[in-house]
Chain A
Amino acid sequence: MELINRYIYAVTKSFPKKQKLEIEEELKANIEDMIEQNSSNYSHEEKVKKALLELGNPEIVADNYRGSKRFLIGPFYYELYLMVLKIVVAAVVGGISIALFIKSFFTANIDIANIGLEYLTSIFSGAMQAFAWTTIVFIIIERNNAKLRDELKDKESWDLTKLPLLPNKKTQIPISEPIAAIIFTTIFFSVFLGILYSAPEAFAVYFEKAGEMMRIPIFEIDVLKGYRSWFIAIFFLSILKEIFSLYYRKWNLKNSLVSIFIITITAILGVIIITDNSLWNPNFPTEILKQIQGSFDFPGFWLNIRNWIVAFFIIINVGEILSILYKGIYLNRKLQ
């Protein structure tokens, strides 16, 4: 009896409760019939084994009940997934290498063995993170779109108007664009986070005074570190945006809207971070002023620079949104 229960459990374990009970009941009755109608002289146990072997691999029986196969990442996205995974992992490894290289400049006594060990462990954990997050993003895409595909199949019939337009050069996205963006974004963020955590003293202006090095930090490192999850969110949203471009390879309406949405969110997050006054070392302008010794209004200039950074950041993002609006919506409408 235990074997039968184990078999039934193996078949039904992943079904929702109601379905599970029904299948259990029916399968049990069928198995008992198979045993009962085996008129050979074998022991009961032998008959049980024979019946279960006849039913075969419970995973396959479960698939038959389900009527469809289940995937974590299905064949539809697998190729794209492998490509993005390779790019992201490679870029993370590259980024961490650069970050540690920069760090070695700020380390007084370089211990090769220690640096080597740190390098290996950072690369290992960085690659694991990249692998995990890329996989999670794709699992979410698969989940949402598998449902969507089924619904489309059921509800809509295909006709000639559903044929995609021949690609127009202006709305096409060359594959090199998203790949370069993924590499650049990944390297930028892994270098930035790498330095933030292993050599935050690098975010500073250095002066040499009477043979001694003076260091004036630009940021309040603890506040900057507090934004860690924000940086990671911006990073993954940016990667997600590029994955959409890799998938569609053109500025169609859907890709355009998703991109604009993501750019808006990341830009807002970015502006909130940059305009946070507690992020910037309040003593930075006065310290600099002491060093340059002049009548030059450095604190005012510094405030201007900070405002210009914000303005520049907003202009770049708005520019990108306008360009996508033009390609994705205006051009597509004109072509139809």
Chain B
Amino acid sequence: MNEENIKLVYNNLLQELRRGNIILSVLSQLTEPQYGYSLVVLLEEKGISIEPGTLYPLLRRLEKQEILESNWDTDTSKPRKYYRLSENGKLIYKDLCVEWFKMVDSMDQILKDKE
């Protein structure tokens, strides 16, 4: 494998790794209502970079699964669609967090054992 290939494979794997965490990081920020772009900025500030082209469709899909609920804010001059966790979403998010910490513990164990 030449250097370029190694880089390509590495980038693909890194993307896979990040992809799995996107949903949880999005849910974590939606106890308060956010609109699409404000969520991109918010996550960026916390060190999680997510492409807008991925995030906007994801919000819509999560809404369809009834994890998120949305409403259009038309009070301001510019209408915006705000998303936040639904009641079901909050329960699911809580359970996912429990799983997440378990997983982090196990992964830490496995990876540190090898060092």
Contact status A64-B52, CB under 8 Å: no
Give the shortest distance, in Å, between B44 (CB) and chain A (any CB). 11
Contact status A54-B51, CB under 8 Å: yes
Contact status B53-A33, CB under 8 Å: no
Give the shortest distance, in Å, between A193 (CB) and chain B (any CB). 50
| Bound CA span A29–B79, Å | 7
The answer to whether residues A65 and B37 also contact, given A26-B81, A55-B52 and a CB cut-off of 8 A, is no
**Which residues of the other chain, A, contact B33 by a CB distance below 8 angstroms?**
none
Contact status B36-A54, CB under 8 Å: no
| Bound CA span A321–B61, Å | 49
The answer to whether residues A56 and B53 also contact, given A26-B36, A33-B36 and a CB cut-off of 8 A, is yes
Contact status B81-A29, CB under 8 Å: yes
The answer to whether residues A64 and B53 also contact, given A23-B60, A26-B60, A29-B81 and a CB cut-off of 8 A, is yes
Give the shortest distance, in Å, between B52 (CB) and chain A (any CB). 5
**Most chain A beta-carbon contacts within 10 A, residue among B38, B56, B60:** B56
Whether, in the assembled complex, B54 has its beta carbon less than 8 Å from a beta carbon of chain A, the answer is yes
Give the shortest distance, in Å, between B93 (CB) and chain A (any CB). 20
**Which residues of the other chain, B, contact A325 by a CB distance below 8 angstroms?**
none
Contact status B57-A29, CB under 8 Å: no
**Which residues of the other chain, B, contact A118 by a CB distance below 8 angstroms?**
none
Is chain B's interface secondary structure helix, strand, loop, or mixed overall? helix
Give the shortest distance, in Å, between B77 (CB) and chain A (any CB). 11
Contact status A29-B80, CB under 8 Å: yes
Give the shortest distance, in Å, between B5 (CB) and chain A (any CB). 23
**Which residues of the other chain, A, contact B78 by a CB distance below 8 angstroms?**
29, 32-33
| Bound CA span A22–B35, Å | 15
Contact status B53-A30, CB under 8 Å: no
**Which residues of the other chain, B, contact A26 by a CB distance below 8 angstroms?**
36, 56, 60, 81
Whether, in the assembled complex, B41 has its beta carbon less than 8 Å from a beta carbon of chain A, the answer is yes
Contact status B58-A64, CB under 8 Å: yes
Contact status B36-A30, CB under 8 Å: yes
Contact status B37-A37, CB under 8 Å: yes
Name the residue on A nearest B56 (C-beta): A30
Contact status B35-A54, CB under 8 Å: no
The answer to whether residues A29 and B36 also contact, given A23-B60, A37-B41, A65-B60 and a CB cut-off of 8 A, is yes
Contact status B54-A30, CB under 8 Å: no
Whether, in the assembled complex, A294 has its beta carbon less than 8 Å from a beta carbon of chain B, the answer is no
A interface list, Cβ under 8 A from B: 22-23, 25-27, 29-30, 32-34, 37, 54-57, 60-61, 64-65, 67
- List, sorted by A's number, 9 A–B pairs whose CB atoms are closer than 8 Å: A25-B79, A29-B35, A30-B37, A30-B56, A33-B36, A37-B37, A54-B53, A55-B53, A65-B60
Additional A-B contacts beyond A25-B81, A61-B53, A65-B56 (15; CB < 8 A): A25-B79, A26-B36, A26-B60, A26-B81, A29-B35, A32-B78, A33-B36, A33-B78, A54-B51, A54-B53, A56-B53, A61-B56, A65-B57, A65-B60, A65-B61
